[in-house]
Amino acid sequence: MKVREIMSIYVVCCEHLDDLETAAGKMESLDIGAIPVVDNGQLTGMISLGDLSIREQANESAGSALSDISKSF
């Protein structure tokens, strides 16, 4: 089986200047564990639940999203 056979075609991203709550909210609403980060449409990285969980500045709403998403895995 090839990656292209199971990959997501329509990908929701966040902008590199978005706050953690925005990224966490998108992951929560889509029930996903990671989201690509873009700058002017160019991929610059990824942010994941693990990234959010280790950041001290992740506030309560990001923590809540993390908790809700991790329950579904």
> Which residue ranges form the domains of the chain, and what is each CATH number?
3-71 (3.10.580.10)
Distance in angstroms (rounded) separating the CA atoms of residues 33 and 24: 9
pLDDT, residue 61, reads 56
Q: Reduce the secondary structure of 13-64 to three states and give it as a string.
A: CEECCCCHHHHHHHHHHHCCCEEEEEECCEEEEEEEHHHHHHCCCCCHHHHH
* pTM beyond 0.75: no
pLDDT per residue as tens digits for the range 12-32: 999 999 998 899 899 989 989
